[in-house]
Amino acid sequence: MNENGIENQLRRLLRVQPSPHLDQRLNMLFRETGAARSSILMRSVPAWMATAACLVCTVAGLGTRSLFIPGRNPPTVVYVLPPNEALTRFLAGPKASRRDNFDFSRARVEVIQPPAPQGGEL
Amino acid sequence: MNEAFVERLRQCYEANRQELYTYSLTLTGDREAAEDAIHNAFQRLLRRGSAPADLRPYVFRCVRNAAMDHRRQLKRREDSIFTLTDDNGPSHTPGVHVELKQLLTQLSEDERETIVLKVFDSLTFQEIARVREVSINTVSSWYRRGMEKLKTLWMEEVK
């Protein structure tokens, strides 16, 4: 008898069958695991807890939002000295009319009058 | 773990029920322990909650681990994986099967285990290598050596 012959003879041997009890045990195991899984899903977070968590997260999110969004800078103040109306108009006017990179769109132009010379003093 | 995983394991059990039992019985030599080992293996798998895509060799390996645990705990018995009665149709050669059963017990554990997995459980050498965590060469060597021994022992019996 060669190797194949032995294999064939072996394959034809009747093997001991597992008892029906094993099937019962395994079926129960699968069923219980499935049921346990379902019950875990069913008794998941209650609606009120989910809502509360959602509210807390929203408040916390809004609170931390300001930390990440930079505040607007106060407007630039440009002092024009000595007083020059043409320059004031030029700076406060549209940027397109200038050939520089300065943005004075939010600038506040203040024209400062120099103090009047005080005469009669020695 | 999800329902799909439980279903996957259930299908694997149903498709390999006999093969797993034969393998477990080969390792434990005790019918009850063989069933306990299968039950424990699936219990562990379900508790673990995940398994590789190639499930079959992995389940066999888990059953092997559980069976080895049982074997360590229990005094070794020698329940055969074969039934005592042969009912194999008209081409059955009287005496051949009984002798082969006995010859199988004379192989080393590795050889017997490999032959059982290959012949009865239809695992490939690659799958057996994964079950046993050894190389394919080792598995094929165990198988070849086992079959050679069976052949030699068989020839001696015939003489």
Closest alpha carbon to A40 in B3, B4, B40 = B3
Output the pLDDT for position A36: 67
Closest alpha carbon to B138 in B153, B128, B148 = B128
Output the pLDDT for position B87: 46
Q: Is B95 exposed, middle or buried (CB count within 10 Å of its CB: 0-12, 13-18, 19+)? A: exposed
Domain ranges of chain B: 3-73, 96-158
Rounded to whole angstroms, the Cα distance separating B43 from A33 reads 9
A50 pLDDT more than 90: no
Instruction: Give pLDDT tens digits for B33-44.
Output: 999 999 999 999
| pTM beyond 0.90 | no
Q: Report the CATH fold assignment for B96-158.
A: Arc Repressor Mutant, subunit A (1.10.10)
User: Would the CB atoms of A18 and B21 count as touching at under 8 Å?
Assistant: yes
Please tell me whether the interface predicted TM-score (ipTM) of this complex is above 0.85.
no
Q: What is the mean pLDDT of chain B?
A: 85
Which of A19, A22, A37 has its CB closest to that of B1?
A37
User: Would the CB atoms of A18 and B79 count as touching at under 8 Å?
Assistant: no
Interface size A-B, in CB pairs within 8 Å, comes to 99
User: Which range, of A1-15, A31-45, A86-100, B5-19, averages the lowest pLDDT?
Assistant: A31-45
Output phi, psi for B94, to 5 deg: -60, 140
B93 pLDDT more than 70: no
A75 pLDDT more than 70: no
User: Would the CB atoms of A18 and B82 count as touching at under 8 Å?
Assistant: no
A27 pLDDT more than 50: yes
User: Would the CB atoms of B97 and A23 count as touching at under 8 Å?
Assistant: no
Peptide bond into A82 cis (omega under 30): yes
